[in-house]
Amino acid sequence: MAEPVNFECTTPEDTIAFGRSLGRELRAGDLVLLAGPLGAGKTTLTRGIAEGLGVSGRVSSPTFVLARVHPGPVPLVHVDAYRLGGDLAQLDDLDLDTDLEASAVVVEWGEGSADRLSADHLVVRLSREEDDVRRIALEPHGNWTTRTPLLPTR
Ligand code: ADP
Ligand code: MG
C-alpha cells in the first residue's frame, strides 16, 4: 500500500485550489467519492474540481436535484448520494444528459455505495478541524491505487 495522502487546507480558497489540481488529473469514467459531515467542504472542493476540469456552470449543492451535469471536454456529473438513498446504481435511471463513462463523476455522501457503480474510485475524506481548517485524506481504491503518484499533495 502506498502512503496515504493526508494534509490540511486552511481556507476555502486552499480547498478549491486542491480541487483544481485534482480536477486536472481526472479523466472520463473516473469516480470520486466525497466523504465528510455537513459543512466539511464537499461542495467547495467540487467547485475546484470543476475549474480543473474546465467545465461550465456554477457548482452548487446537488441536494435538491440529485445530480447535475456540467458540460465540458470531460463533463462533470455532481451527485448527492444521500438523496439517492445511497444507491448509485440509480444514476443510470436518472436520464442524465451525458454518458457516465464519458464523464467524471463526483459524489457527495457517496462512500459505501460506490461498489454499485465501480470498485475503482477515489475517496476524498474531509473533516472539520478548528475554525476554517479542513483535513483532507485521499484513499484510492481499485485502479486508483496505481495513480497515487499523480495525485496532488496540496
Ligand atoms: P459540504 O458540501 O461538505 O456540506 P460546503 O462546501 O457546502 O460543505 O460548505 C463548507 C463551508 O465551510 C463553506 O461555507 C466554506 O466557506 C466554509 N469553509 C471554511 N473553511 C473551509 C476550508 N478550509 N475548506 C472548505 N470550506 C471551508
Ligand atoms: Mg454539499
Q: Using one digit for the tens of pLDDT, what is the confidence trace for 131-146?
A: 999 999 999 999 999 9
Listed by start position, the domains of the chain span 5-150
When the candidates are 3.20.20.70, 3.20.20.10, 3.40.50.2000, 3.40.50.300, the CATH number that belongs to 5-150 is 3.40.50.300
pLDDT single digits (tens) 9-22:
999 999 999 999 99
Ligand 1 pocket residues where CB is under 6 Å: 9-12, 14-15, 36, 38-44, 61, 108, 132, 134
What ipTM, to 2 d.p.? 0.99
The backbone torsions φ and ψ at residue 92, rounded to the nearest 5 degrees and listed phi first, read -65, -25
The closest alpha carbon to 116, from 45, 33, 36, 23, belongs to: 33
CA distances from 102 to 26, 73, 98 (A): 11, 9, 7
Which residues are close to ligand 2, an ion, with C-beta < 5 A? 42-43, 61
